[in-house]
């Protein structure tokens, strides 16, 4: 049984650029959610996908968007990057919300 894997592990982007982060769900999990964790803060819920449909969204602007694929892997896209987008981005998967397994995260730095 594989866990949740995220790629890349680290990324540096310039303000205004666009970024795509990727997440492979744990085997058997059909729900994936994304979080932004700024340094010293708790994770902030970005959105959640269940069977390729978005079924929950936090207070993030539309330039944060996502996809879930038929194999339940997922992407987080952020357009027009801002300095404040620098954070650890965490992906978590579950089977219908019964406990979430987190990936090791992607640390994004916007300069």
Partner 1 sequence: ELKVEQNPLFLSMQEGKNYTIYCNYSTTSDRLYWYRQDPGKSLESLFVLLSNGAVKQEGRLMASLDTKARLSTLHITAAVHDLSATYFCAVVWNRDDKIIFGKGTRLHILP
Token pair recorded at residue 59? 């207070």
Please say which residue, 84 or 98, places its beta carbon nearer to partner 1. 98
State which of positions 79-98 bind partner 1 (CB under 8 A): 90, 92, 97-98
State yes or no: residue 103 binds partner 1 (CB under 8 A).
yes
Cα separation, 104 vs 5, in Å, equals 7
Contacts of 77 (CB under 8 A, 6+ apart): 18, 19, 20, 21, 64, 65, 66, 67
Chosen residue from 25, 29, 32, 43 binding partner 1 by CB under 8 A: 43
Binding site for partner 1 (CB under 8 A): 33, 35, 41-45, 48, 55-58, 90, 92, 97-105
């Amino acid at each position: 049984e594989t866990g949740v894997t995220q790629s890349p592990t680290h990324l540096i982007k310039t303000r205004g650029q666009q970024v795509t982060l990727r997440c492979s769900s744990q085997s058997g999990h059909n729900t994936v959610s994304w979080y932004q964790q700024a340094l010293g803060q708790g994770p902030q819920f970005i959105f959640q996908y269940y069977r390729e449909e978005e079924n929950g969204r936090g207070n993030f602007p539309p330039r944060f968007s996502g996809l879930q694929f038929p194999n339940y892997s997922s992407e987080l896209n952020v357009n027009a990057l801002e300095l404040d987008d620098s954070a650890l981005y965490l992906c978590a998967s579950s089977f219908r919300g019964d406990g979430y397994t987190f990936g090791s995260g992607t640390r994004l730095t916007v300069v």
